[in-house]
């Protein structure tokens, strides 16, 4: 396979379809943040829904209704990151239906979400999604575990890519997240049980090769995020820490090894749009660990924020705001990210089901 063609295809498709470009890093937070939206899943076994919340310019949330996904959830919190995914242009939202082995696409309209399509996920118990342009991959955690690819066609139609379904390194991987590198040329999967990080290369026509596997610096690699470049930040739930790597074509080079989170079981992680700060949720104690990110991706622990919520199950960043899902108390917690990386609490949202899973924000 010609690597130059491989590298150009995702960018070409993104340019044609208008949602694949990787935005440049901002120099800082905007002085006047635009309003936006925050989404989570009900994950209800009687019928899955996307729950929508309007985000005001000051970060506050108000309910904007719920839209059925055409599938069902598990009725219990999902142990994953990325149950919801949104295109870079904010025009399409995708959700897993872990109880019916399907995924759904939604058009994001000024008046709210519109269900576009629901399709089989290509495996059992889909828990995580990754999107780049109109290329969508799903991580199926059930059975022997796999990833499977889709093209998002006109009107949000989900078209399975023939031959795109790939196994993980083990049938007992307990994989927790799938995600694209910022350039869309690679897919990363975190395998908690095996302690491995998988790299798949994105080929022509949305196919992938691999995985090439790499041992995690610490036990239990769980959630991950990119800084906007090729620096990959991975939580280590079994090691109570976060590591930073430089992602090569099929390699990982450690930048910061297992920086402690000052908590227990950090699982979910999100980075600010300017790539300066990252936040990891210590799921077993309900605290948020803050990190400063150096230009080379190196991590420095900043501080712990204790929002008096347990457990914390997911994180999402929009503009200068951080949101955390506390499904045990049925709420989304809101925080403003200060210029020094510290967090100030904001009014969030309440009344969520305890099965809620996933967060996406714009």
User: Mind listing the pLDDT tens digit for each residue in 108-128?
Assistant: 999 999 999 999 999 999 999
What are the tokens at 78? 């999902």
pLDDT at 2: 37
Tell me the pTM.
Answer: 0.91
Q: What is the dihedral of CA 94, 22, 277, 38, to 10 degrees?
A: -30
Q: How confident is the model at residue 30 (pLDDT cuts 50, 70, 90)?
A: low
Instruction: Tell me the C-alpha to C-alpha distance, in Å, between residue 103 and each of 76, 106, 121, 160.
Output: 17, 10, 6, 11
Q: Where in the chain are the domains? A: 38-356
Q: Report yes or no: 93 and 121 within 8 Å, Cβ to Cβ.
A: no
User: Mind listing the pLDDT tens digit for each residue in 50-95?
Assistant: 999 999 999 999 999 999 999 999 999 898 999 999 999 999 999 9
Distance CA 177, CA 244 (A): 16
Distance CA 351, CA 354 (A): 9
Fold of 38-356: Methylamine Dehydrogenase; Chain H (2.130.10)
Q: How confident is the model at residue 32 (pLDDT cuts 50, 70, 90)?
A: low
Question: Which residues share a beta bridge with 84?
Answer: 95
Q: Report yes or no: 293 and 279 within 8 Å, Cβ to Cβ.
A: no
Cα 220 to the chain's mean position, in Å? Answer: 17
């Amino acid at each position: 396979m010609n690597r130059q063609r491989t590298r150009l295809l995702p960018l070409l498709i993104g340019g044609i379809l208008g949602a694949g470009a990787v935005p440049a890093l901002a120099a800082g937070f905007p002085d006047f943040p635009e309003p936006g939206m925050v989404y989570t899943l009900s994950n209800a076994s009687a019928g899955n829904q996307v729950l929508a919340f309007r985000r005001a310019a000051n970060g506050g949330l108000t309910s904007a209704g719920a839209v059925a996904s055409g599938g069902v959830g598990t009725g219990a919190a999902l142990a994953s990151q990325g149950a919801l995914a949104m295109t870079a242009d904010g025009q399409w939202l995708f959700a897993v239906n872990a109880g019916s082995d399907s995924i759904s696409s939604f058009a994001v309209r000024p008046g709210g979400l519109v269900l576009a399509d629901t399709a089989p996920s290509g495996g059992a118990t889909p828990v995580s999604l990754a999107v780049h342009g109109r290329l969508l991959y799903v991580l199926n955690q059930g059975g022997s575990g796999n990833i499977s690819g889709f093209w998002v066609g006109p009107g949000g139609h989900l078209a399975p890519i023939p031959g795109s379904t790939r196994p993980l390194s083990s049938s007992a991987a307990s994989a927790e997240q799938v995600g694209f590198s910022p350039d869309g040329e690679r897919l990363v999967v975190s395998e908690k049980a095996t302690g491995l990080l998988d790299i798949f290369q994105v080929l022509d026509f949305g196919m992938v090769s691999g995985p090439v596997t790499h041992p995690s610096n610490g036990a239990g690699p769980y959630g991950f995020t990119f800084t906007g470049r090729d620096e990959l930040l991975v939580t280590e739930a079994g090691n109570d820490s976060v590591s930073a790597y430089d992602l090569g074509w099929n390699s990982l080079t450690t930048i910061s090894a297992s920086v402690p989170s000052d908590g227990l079981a950090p699982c979910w992680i999100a980075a600010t749009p300017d790539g300066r700060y990252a936040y990891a949720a210590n799921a077993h104690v309900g605290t948020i660990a803050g990190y400063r990110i150096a230009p080379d991706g190196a991590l420095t622990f900043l501080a712990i924020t204790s929002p008096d919520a347990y457990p914390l199950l997911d994180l999402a960043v929009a503009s200068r705001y951080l949101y955390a899902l506390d499904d045990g108390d049925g709420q989304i917690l809101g925080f403003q990210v200060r210029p020094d990386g510290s967090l100030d609490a904001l009014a969030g949202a309440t009344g969520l089901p305890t099965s809620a899973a996933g967060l996406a924000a714009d």
